[in-house]
Structure 1
Amino acid sequence: MPQENGRPTPIPLTVLTGFLGAGKTTLLNRLLQDPALSDTVVIVNEFGEIGLDHLLVETVDEDMILLGAGCLCCTVRGDLIAALEDLLRKRDNGRIKAFRRVVIETTGLADPAPILHALIAHPYLSLRFRLQGVVTVVDAVNGCSTLDEHPEAVRQAAVADILVMTKRDLAGAEPDQLAARLRQLNPGARLEGPDVPAETLLGGLFGLDGKSADVREWLGAEHAAPDRHGEHRDHHHAHHGHGHHPGHDHHHDVNRHDAAIRAFHLVSDTPVPRPAFEMFLDLIRSAHGPKLLRLKGLVAMADDPERPVVVHGVQHVVHAPVTLDAWPDADRRSRLVLIVRDLDPAFVERIWDAFLGRPRIDGPDAAALSDNPLAIPNG
């Protein structure tokens, strides 16, 4: 099998999530008819809930189905980690056809953060699989009310790399309001319609052709570029809390969730010392891990600036960094995207600046951080 640094080349893995009734099954059925997915393993939580009957050919074993396109569908009734380990054993032993990609379809009520955490925290699976992206399906008819009523739906949208809006033709004017709300909640995500091509959804930084995708797109830089204070330009009027803001006469406050969940960028124009970067990651994940919903980025290390390092993180765990052979575009800056809950971006920026030797201390925590950049303020 292909090797990377003496080990098997990691298998790209995509997480497909979305709230109940959003249209994940319809999207998955369409994707599976694309010949490009003929060597894909699809993992679903309960096979009986998925309408794939027209694609079935034969049962491989009790929990594995061979689909008409040649994909495998592994039904997860137990532990996801155990299912992935079993798939790898069968693949390595030649008991099933070697697959090139895995798609995990979560239940509608799933919080994707623990799933991502499990994928990158496991010492073996983190070597054999590489998170390619999170695709979240959102129902245009009920999307706003679902975000109002279900925290799981908010988390699903917040951690997405791609948001797929379904049922637009049934929703009247609702899609525009929902799209604006999703852009506030996750400005770095790409917003697509239900007919999005498979290669768009399942491409990404680690494509099967071995080439890196556009990093600006992967990092959401076009939509979430920070100003000099680290705030999103399109968040200028956001984050007024959970109630109605006096200056707005909306039916409801579209930013009611955004006061808790934020996405922002950290950027460095100069290469980053590796020890400083590792200490920064250790500090953020150890002190604020539960609040770190997602971290991803491309970093120029001072000891090897011509070969950027790709990082993925969820909560307390950061995936083993991957070094690319070369920069995929002309932009050589280090760029990190963080999606956080109840964590002040300005505080994280001050820590980042302190580790890079460019402290910009202000506010109530100034004294503590000036004396000790590792200090963590209360709250």
Structure 2
Amino acid sequence: MPKPQAPIDPRVPVTLLTGFLGAGKTTLLNAVIKSQSGPKIAVIVNEFGEAGLDHDLIEAVDEEIVLMRSGCLCCSVRGDLSRTMMDLMVRRHRGEIDFDRVVIETTGLADPGPILQTMLMEPDLSRTVRMDGVITVADAATGQDTLTRQFEAVSQVAMADLLVLSKSDLVSVADLRVFEARLEAINPTAQIIHADRGRLDPSVLWNLSGLRANATPEQTLQWLTPRAEPADPFANLSGLSSTKPAAAIAPTAHDTRIGSASIVLDEPIPDAAFDLCLNTLIALRGPDILRVKGIVFLEGIEAPFVFHGVQHVFDPPVPMRDWPGTDRRSRIVVIARDISNPELARSLDLLRARLPEQSTYTQVEEPFA
């Protein structure tokens, strides 16, 4: 019997490109635009003059859109972002322009949260586009200092699906490992790759979200699972360890403002417990929830679903109808601001509650005491 085809999501995927000041966002963006292979991209920037686009890549310009020689488009934000995106989608629908995906480049140390909320809250937008991932470019040479001085940089790391490390060739292997460990402590589920001078395969930037209709079970689990430290093949051989461990940098005040917690549940979750957990998080600390994501098996429902939210706004859950059935554990990850790890862990423990049908929130201990 042939395997059923994965559902196709007709919405245009959107990638948010953010990063530290001077980390190399524009270098990475130019490298992607130069690529002649892969999808046609519409890039949204704040101002053409500030975008730093290579002039030899530009083929034609009108008042609002720059056409690049690779076929990519560059659009300047006029007014608010949602209107700019809707204008792009309308022109695409009319056949005036052609693109397969959108990249939004933020300026400076912008907070990704409001842009993600725009994508989730605008009904017209959410019907035509979907978030495909948040990419944060972090400078390995000066990133430690940036994280210490700028809480916005810590937030960018916390909200990323993919962390692109630039200038890693300018630091020692030991210092690079310390920096990666600091990033992982802030965001344990983000992938980390290196791209010195923008050199990378552009395909690694796409399909980051596990909340897409054609995501495989393996891709969804990768989206939710903390990174594993690669093994040192010489670790047990005296004198042959590849590098000496560098001294870790103590977490700063900005680092400790970010808390994260995850939970894995072997048994299906009662729907009342799931609602209680999310409603408690949103009602009591909604503005501080940077991201929450998970795959959930509910009692009485065969297929799991994947969900994702920013603060009090959530994507519609995506059912995983072709889940293979070998792993039926629920996994949820929360990254938050100004909430300690123990408080987040207590809130997730509400998922273990076995509640009577007419339970009320007053019957459960407050997790944020």
TM-score by length of 1: 0.80
Report the Cα distance in structure 2 between the residues aligned to 1:251 and 1:347, rounded to whole angstroms.
Answer: 25
Structure 2 letter corresponding to 1:161: D
Summarize deviations over 1:174-195 as a string: whole Å, max 9, x none.
4233222112222211111003
Asked if 1:326 corresponds to 2:322, the answer is yes
Asked if 1:214 corresponds to 2:219, the answer is yes
1:326-365 correspondence runs (5 A): 326-327=322-323, 330-357=326-353
Contact 1:32–1:38, Cα closer than 8 Å, also in 2: no
Asked if 1:301 corresponds to 2:306, the answer is no
1:53-202 correspondence runs (5 A): 53-59=55-61, 61-97=62-98, 99-172=99-172, 174-194=175-195, 195-202=199-206
Q: 1:374, CA displacement in angstroms?
A: 7.1
Q: 1:88, CA displacement in angstroms?
A: 1.5
Structure 2 letter corresponding to 1:295: V
Report the Cα distance in structure 2 between the residues aligned to 1:196 and 1:207, rounded to whole angstroms.
Answer: 24
Change (3 A) 1:371 1:279: closer
SS of the equivalent of 2:214 reads coil
Report the Cα distance in structure 2 between the residues aligned to 1:338 and 1:376, rounded to whole angstroms.
Answer: 14
Report the Cα distance in structure 1 between the residues aligned to 2:295 and 2:338, rounded to whole angstroms.
Answer: 24
Change (3 A) 1:279 1:94: farther
SS of the equivalent of 2:256 reads coil
Report the Cα distance in structure 2 between the residues aligned to 1:357 and 1:35, rounded to whole angstroms.
Answer: 53
SS of the equivalent of 2:343 reads helix
Report the Cα distance in structure 2 between the residues aligned to 1:207 and 1:313, rounded to whole angstroms.
Answer: 11
Report the Cα distance in structure 2 between the residues aligned to 1:353 and 1:376, rounded to whole angstroms.
Answer: 9
Q: 1:25, CA displacement in angstroms?
A: 0.7
SS of the equivalent of 2:21 reads coil
Q: 1:297, CA displacement in angstroms?
A: 1.6
- Larger mean CA deviation between 77-86 and 250-259 belongs to 250-259
Identity %: 40
Q: 1:114, CA displacement in angstroms?
A: 1.6
Q: 1:328, CA displacement in angstroms?
A: 6.6
Q: 1:209, CA displacement in angstroms?
A: 9.8
Q: 1:284, CA displacement in angstroms?
A: 1.2
Contact 1:186–1:263, Cα closer than 8 Å, also in 2: yes
Q: Which runs of 5 or more structure 1 residues have no equivalent in the other structure?
A: 225-248, 360-368
Change (3 A) 1:220 1:53: farther
Change (3 A) 1:53 1:251: same
Paired residues, what number?
338
Contact 1:12–1:207, Cα closer than 8 Å, also in 2: no
Change (3 A) 1:299 1:345: same
1:45-60 correspondence runs (5 A): 45-49=46-50, 50-59=52-61
Contact 2:60–2:68, Cα closer than 8 Å, also in 1: yes
Contact 1:25–1:51, Cα closer than 8 Å, also in 2: yes
Contact 2:212–2:318, Cα closer than 8 Å, also in 1: no
Asked if 1:270 corresponds to 2:267, the answer is yes
1:210-249 correspondence runs (5 A): 210-212=214-216, 214-223=219-228
Q: CA RMSD in A?
A: 3.0
SS of the equivalent of 2:56 reads helix
SS of the equivalent of 1:109 reads coil
Contact 1:12–1:132, Cα closer than 8 Å, also in 2: yes
Change (3 A) 1:31 1:331: farther
Report the Cα distance in structure 1 between the residues aligned to 2:167 and 2:297, rounded to whole angstroms.
Answer: 42
Report the Cα distance in structure 2 between the residues aligned to 1:329 and 1:165, rounded to whole angstroms.
Answer: 36
Q: 1:263, CA displacement in angstroms?
A: 2.2
Structure 1 letter corresponding to 2:310: V
Report the Cα distance in structure 2 between the residues aligned to 1:374 and 1:87, rounded to whole angstroms.
Answer: 48
Q: 1:109, CA displacement in angstroms?
A: 2.0
2:258 to 249, 257, 261: 261
Summarize deviations over 1:26-80 as a string: whole Å, max 9, x none.
1111122334444221111222122232221112x41111222212211114211
Q: 1:154, CA displacement in angstroms?
A: 1.0
SS of the equivalent of 1:118 reads helix
Change (3 A) 1:356 1:251: closer
Contact 1:8–1:128, Cα closer than 8 Å, also in 2: no
- Larger mean CA deviation between 187-196 and 168-177 belongs to 168-177
Report the Cα distance in structure 1 between the residues aligned to 2:264 and 2:339, rounded to whole angstroms.
Answer: 18
Contact 1:274–1:303, Cα closer than 8 Å, also in 2: no
Report the Cα distance in structure 1 between the residues aligned to 2:213 and 2:350, rounded to whole angstroms.
Answer: 39
Report the Cα distance in structure 2 between the residues aligned to 1:216 and 1:33, rounded to whole angstroms.
Answer: 32
Q: 1:265, CA displacement in angstroms?
A: 0.9
SS of the equivalent of 1:62 reads coil
1:372 to 343, 363, 368: 363
Report the Cα distance in structure 2 between the residues aligned to 1:100 and 1:321, rounded to whole angstroms.
Answer: 23
Structure 1 letter corresponding to 2:226: A
Report the Cα distance in structure 2 between the residues aligned to 1:206 and 1:10, rounded to whole angstroms.
Answer: 15
Q: 1:101, CA displacement in angstroms?
A: 1.3
